[in-house]
Amino acid sequence: MKRTRVAVIFGGSSTEYEISLQSAYSVITNLNPEEYDLILLGITRQGAWMRFTGPVEQIKDNTWMDHSVSVPAIISPDRNTHGILEFHGNKVTTTRIDVAFPVLHGKNGEDGTVQGLLEMAGIPCVGCGVLSSAMCMDKDIAHRIVSLAGVKTPPSIVLHSYVSEAELLKRIAHLKYPLFVKPANAGSSFGITKVSQESGLACAVSAAFEHDRKVVIEESIDGFEVGCAVLGNDVLTIGEVDEIELCNGFFDYTEKYTLKTSKIHMPARIDVETAARIKQTAIVIYRALECSGYARVDMFLTPEEDIVFNEVNTIPGFTTHSRYPNMLKGIGMSFEQIVDTLIRLAIDR
């Protein structure tokens, strides 16, 4: 049987570079070598693309860009190539690929940019397409679309540039503290600040603008965060709902990847009826934002049991202990089954 040639793309010019390496390692080591011929395509922090042919452990420990096992390479936008170009000195070779599996978290990977390149090249891409990826990455746009679909969103305002302190206070006058100040386009909680009083607002806005040209300021939602794994194109598979238990603060970068003071409950500590409502809301959000392949939909559950939209991650963390695969494990899917299904979904689409 002919093996499917899969290009796993990892790294990237993103603040989430390190997380991408860990996710890619898990994906690569769970793809059956009898079924898949892997082409490993890494992107350095500086944006250099390379084909990597060394031991997969070098991806995990970030030594993969060693020139003895990596050569400059790019995805060709030419549909006749349908693959990558490798540059060996004065010689250029081509390698055809069947499907690409981007494992790129955050900007320049999860935002529709790489998806657009693959679409131009005519190469099937695992996960959401260009439009969906771009909409989900932008917290402002995602909230507008989801609100139109009838799902509650936090009260908020948007800044497209710095404003005076007086103007800032005027714009947020209708919002209640505490507030979250966020870059509209960023992941893993980079640049996000929880502000409890007026004095911390200006610094929080400055921190957010370091990550993006658009900033969202929104009310904190009482209650706790729940997540839902969605898998599929037309027919959807929904994982178990999980729940984030926080001791203090919010689910920032440190807590997401160390769980020092927080805990993830899977399944969530909620009744069956509430879980069913959360799953149905996740489907509405997934459809409204035109997602395909897979995504993790994050929401809040209030003390009144209202469901409020938070965000969609179109390339969520994908290590063997990450939330997305664990929610699908909750309904009996193994990690290997998940990645197999994602590749099939991309080719079918």
Shared domain check, 333 and 231: yes
Return all residues near 305 (Cβ < 8 A) that are at least 6 apart.
274
Collapse the DSSP code of 71 into the 3-class scheme (helix H, G, I; strand E, B; otherwise coil) and give the result: strand
For residue 184, which amino acid is it? Answer: A
Residue 137, token pair as written in the block: 């990455």
CATH number of the domain that 214 lies in?
Answer: 3.30.1490.20
Residue 75, token pair as written in the block: 């995805």
Shared domain check, 297 and 258: yes
Residue ending a domain, choose from 176, 200, 219: 219
Shared domain check, 320 and 233: yes
Residue ending a domain, choose from 219, 238, 261: 219
Q: Which range marks the domain in which residue 119 is found?
A: 4-125
Shared domain check, 279 and 257: yes
pLDDT in tens, the chain (349 residues): 689 999 999 999 988 999 999 999 999 999 999 999 999 999 999 999 999 999 999 999 999 998 889 999 999 999 999 999 999 999 999 999 999 999 999 989 999 999 999 999 999 999 999 999 999 999 999 999 999 999 999 999 999 999 999 999 999 999 999 999 999 987 657 889 999 999 889 999 999 999 899 999 999 999 999 999 999 999 999 999 999 998 765 554 554 555 665 799 999 999 999 999 999 999 999 999 999 999 999 999 999 999 999 999 999 999 988 999 999 999 999 999 999 999 999 999 8
Q: Considering its fold, how many domains does the chain have in total?
A: 3
Alpha-carbon separation of residue 148 from 49, 76, 144, 153 (angstroms): 39, 38, 6, 10
What pTM value is reported for the model? Answer: 0.93
Residue located via tokens 């990977």: 109
- DSSP E strands in the chain: the ranges are 4-11, 36-43, 49-52, 70-75, 83-88, 91-96, 99-102, 156-159, 179-183, 193-195, 215-219, 224-232, 236-245, 263-265, 293-301, 307-313
130 within domain boundaries = no
The span from the CA of 103 to the CA of 259, in Å, is: 22
